[in-house]
């Protein structure tokens, strides 16, 4: 007896290559940025469609048609198509109900660090734990000394990549002056308010909140001093994050009011510094590092973004801005070097289209570079979670 041919992404894409959009027959499904994700396990195929790009009446028929089509493939025993609304507010999330993590017949077998985080209850006072952050395993700031080095793109792709590894991830966009997270995640619409708390929006498997979802961008851009501090505090205490393994905070470049408010208001368990390889960016990165060190926030490592240009034809690497700049800097300063992300047009076009590259093309060089970094981050997140719980416990006992 011969074993069935393995199915791969290529076969699935090939099968769907003639599929056109019922409401726009000139456009192929594969060209329409509608497919979020294809996962294959043996002979089972799961495909996720981005509901926000489909006319409401067309969603269910399209889902059923694709499912039926895939089911006809010789080696497919199960084909399931899910619709993901991309936002929490639209209430159209039609994933099957989430199973409790790591449970077998009702018995919770999750490792200790993944048990529901039971941080002690909030204590009144300035530096007491904030109630909405109580069920968060640990908090990591993504920072850069200089603007435009790709900090937000890095934060988003790391968040989605961590979620793909099974972690519950939140992303708070604290870049009050230039919030780019909603656009990069393709999030639109109104934030939902329940019991006086804001609900984060969901996209690509993560929860996200940004000042850009609450006020028009022109408004926030001119805020200074107390207004900025007030906005950061609101993002921290008025958002119902729920249970998360990790909250990533995308901070604005530099060392201003936002960073100060964050480090004075909450316990940040670690900071990751994003830098490009050039000297000037590295110099600015040093300032960012110094600020976190002043507030005793551990530096978890440095990521070099736009490390090299990767030729789309032959994958040859060209080190446009010099080689190993951030890597050498990390070594000099004694911090872990977490990895390098290539300069790849698809990272920019994905961000512009609201589809992070790790979701759009998980097998790409870029997605793999982010994944390698998140594989290093997972054990760190576990360690920080345990440390945070211990620290919070100590604080309540003081
Ligand atoms: N590795 C990369 N390859 C190609 N383009 C990239 C890469 N990283 C970031 N970009 C692009 O560079 C631009 C700046 O990136 P991004 O907004 O993430 O930077 P930032 O440091 O957060 O900026 P800001 O200082 O405005 O907050 C964006 O258009 C983004 O898509």
Answer yes or no: are the C-beta atoms of 81 and 34 closer than 8 Å. Answer: no
35 in the same domain as 176: no
175 in the same domain as 58: no
Q: Indicate if ligand 1 lies below 6 Å from the C-beta of 364.
A: no
Give 354 Cα–ligand 1 centroid separation in angstroms: 13
Q: Indicate if ligand 1 lies below 6 Å from the C-beta of 301.
A: no
Give SS3 for 248.
strand
Please indicate, yes or no, if residue 140 is contained in any of the structural domains: yes
Q: Indicate if ligand 1 lies below 6 Å from the C-beta of 175.
A: yes
Q: Which atom of ligand 1 is nearest to the CA of 341?
A: 1
- Residue 249 belongs to what domain range? 128-397
What's phi and psi for 206, nearest 5 deg?
A: -125, 160
Residue with tokens 């249970």: 243
The predicted pLDDT at position 125 comes to 38
Please indicate, yes or no, if residue 41 is contained in any of the structural domains: yes
Please indicate, yes or no, if residue 384 is contained in any of the structural domains: yes
Q: Indicate if ligand 1 lies below 6 Å from the C-beta of 344.
A: yes
232 in the same domain as 132: yes
| CB half-sphere exposure, 368, CA atoms < 13 A | 3
What's phi and psi for 142, nearest 5 deg?
A: -105, 120
Residues 6+ apart with CB under 8 A from 312: 344, 345
Whole-angstrom distance between the N-terminal and C-terminal Cα of the chain?
69
Last residue of a domain, one of 84, 117, 143: 84
Q: Indicate if ligand 1 lies below 6 Å from the C-beta of 179.
A: no
Q: Which atom of ligand 1 is nearest to the CA of 366?
A: 1
Mean pLDDT by groups of 10 residues along the chain of 398 residues:
69 87 80 82 81 73 86 84 54 25 38 50 48 90 90 97 95 90 90 88 94 75 71 88 95 83 91 87 80 89 92 84 85 91 93 93 94 96 92 75
The predicted pLDDT at position 189 comes to 81
Please indicate, yes or no, if residue 268 is contained in any of the structural domains: yes
User: How far from chain centre, in Å, is Cα 159?
Assistant: 2
Q: Quick one: DSSP state of residue 131?
A: G
Give SS3 for 201.
strand
The predicted pLDDT at position 87 comes to 40
The predicted pLDDT at position 304 comes to 94
372 in the same domain as 257: yes
The predicted pLDDT at position 99 comes to 28
Residue nearest to atom 26 of ligand 1 (CA): 148
Give 92 Cα–ligand 1 centroid separation in angstroms: 31
134 in the same domain as 80: no
Domain count, the chain: 2
Q: Domain of 47: which CATH number?
A: 3.30.300.130
Answer yes or no: are the C-beta atoms of 300 and 271 closer than 8 Å. Answer: yes
Please indicate, yes or no, if residue 120 is contained in any of the structural domains: no
Please indicate, yes or no, if residue 298 is contained in any of the structural domains: yes
137 in the same domain as 78: no
Q: Indicate if ligand 1 lies below 6 Å from the C-beta of 150.
A: yes
Residue with tokens 């390698």: 372
The predicted pLDDT at position 220 comes to 60
Q: Indicate if ligand 1 lies below 6 Å from the C-beta of 256.
A: no
Give CA separation, 203 vs 142, 168, 207, 349, 374, in Å.
19, 12, 7, 17, 18
Task: Tell me whether residue 42 is annotated as binding.
Answer: no
Give SS3 for 369.
helix
Give 150 Cα–ligand 1 centroid separation in angstroms: 3
Give SS3 for 303.
strand
Torsion on CA atoms 6, 12, 17, 18, rounded to nearest 10: 90
Last residue of a domain, one of 84, 111, 144: 84
Give 146 Cα–ligand 1 centroid separation in angstroms: 11
Give 347 Cα–ligand 1 centroid separation in angstroms: 8
Q: Indicate if ligand 1 lies below 6 Å from the C-beta of 348.
A: yes
Please indicate, yes or no, if residue 117 is contained in any of the structural domains: no
Please indicate, yes or no, if residue 116 is contained in any of the structural domains: no
Instruction: Write a three-state SS string for 4-59.
Output: CCCCCHHHHHHHCCCCEECCEEEEEHHHCCCEEEEEEECCEEEEEEEHHHCCHHHH
20 in the same domain as 154: no
Task: Tell me whether residue 85 is annotated as binding.
Answer: no
Give 306 Cα–ligand 1 centroid separation in angstroms: 9
Look at residues 174, 349, 182, 192 and name the one whose alpha carbon lies nearest to residue 262. Answer: 174
80 in the same domain as 143: no
Residues 6+ apart with CB under 8 A from 197: 132, 238, 239, 240
C-alpha radius of gyration, the chain, whole number: 22
Q: Domain of 241: which CATH number?
A: 3.40.50.300
Q: Indicate if ligand 1 lies below 6 Å from the C-beta of 320.
A: no
In the numeric block, which tokens belong to residue 30?
Answer: 């594969």
Q: What is d(CA 317, CA 248) in angstroms, rounded to the nearest whole number? A: 30
Task: Tell me whether residue 354 is annotated as binding.
Answer: no
208 in the same domain as 60: no
221 in the same domain as 357: yes
The predicted pLDDT at position 130 comes to 80
133 in the same domain as 48: no
240 in the same domain as 359: yes
Last residue of a domain, one of 65, 84, 103: 84
Q: Which atom of ligand 1 is nearest to the CA of 343?
A: 3
Helices (H), the chain: 9-15, 56-71, 151-164, 181-185, 217-221, 225-237, 257-265, 279-294, 325-333, 345-353, 357-360, 365-397
Q: What is d(CA 297, CA 172) in angstroms, rounded to the nearest whole number? A: 18
Answer yes or no: are the C-beta atoms of 285 and 144 closer than 8 Å. Answer: yes
């Amino acid at each position: 007896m011969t074993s069935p041919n393995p199915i791969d992404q290529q076969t699935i894409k090939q099968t769907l290559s003639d599929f056109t959009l019922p409401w726009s027959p000139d456009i192929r499904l594969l060209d329409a940025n509608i497919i979020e994700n294809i996962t294959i396990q043996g002979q089972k195929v799961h495909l996720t469609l981005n509901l926000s790009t489909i006319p409401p009446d067309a969603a269910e028929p399209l889902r059923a048609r694709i499912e039926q089509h895939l089911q006809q493939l010789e080696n497919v025993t199960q084909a399931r198509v899910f619709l993901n609304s991309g936002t929490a507010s639209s209430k159209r999330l039609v994933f099957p109900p989430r199973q409790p993590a790591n449970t077998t017949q009702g018995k919770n077998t999750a490792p200790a660090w993944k048990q529901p985080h039971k941080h002690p209850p909030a204590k009144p006072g300035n530096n007491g734990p904030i109630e909405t952050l109580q069920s968060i395993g640990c908090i990591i700031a993504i920072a850069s000394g200089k603007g435009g080095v790709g900090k937000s793109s890095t934060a988003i792709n790391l968040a989605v990549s961590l979620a793909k590894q099974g972690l519950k991830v939140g992303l708070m966009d604290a870049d009050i002056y230039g919030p780019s997270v909603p656009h990069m995640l393709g999030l639109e619409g109104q934030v939902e308010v329940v019991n006086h708390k804001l609900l984060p929006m969901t996209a690509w498997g993560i929860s996200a909140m940004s000042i850009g979802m609450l006020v028009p961008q022109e408004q926030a851009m001119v805020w200074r001093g107390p207004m900025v501090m007030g906005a950061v505090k609101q993002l921290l205490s008025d958002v119902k994050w729920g249970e998360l393994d990790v909250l990533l905070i995308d901070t604005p470049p530099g060392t201003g009011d936002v960073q100060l408010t964050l480090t004075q208001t909450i316990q940040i368990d670690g900071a990751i510094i994003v830098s490009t390889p050039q000297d000037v960016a590295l110099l600015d990165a040093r300032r960012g590092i110094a600020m976190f060190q002043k507030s005793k926030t551990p530096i978890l490592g440095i990521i070099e973004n736009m490390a090299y240009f990767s030729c789309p034809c032959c994958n040859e690497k060209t080190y446009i801005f010099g080689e190993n700049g951030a890597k050498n800097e990390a070594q000099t300063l004694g911090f872990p070097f977490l990895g390098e992300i290539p300069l790849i047009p698809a990272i920019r076009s994905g961000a512009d289209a609201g589809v992070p590259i790790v979701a759009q093309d998980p097998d790409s060089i870029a997605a793999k570079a982010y994944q390698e970094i998140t594989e290093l981050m997972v054990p760190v997140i576990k360690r920080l979670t345990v440390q945070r719980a211990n620290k919070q416990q100590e604080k309540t006992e003081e």
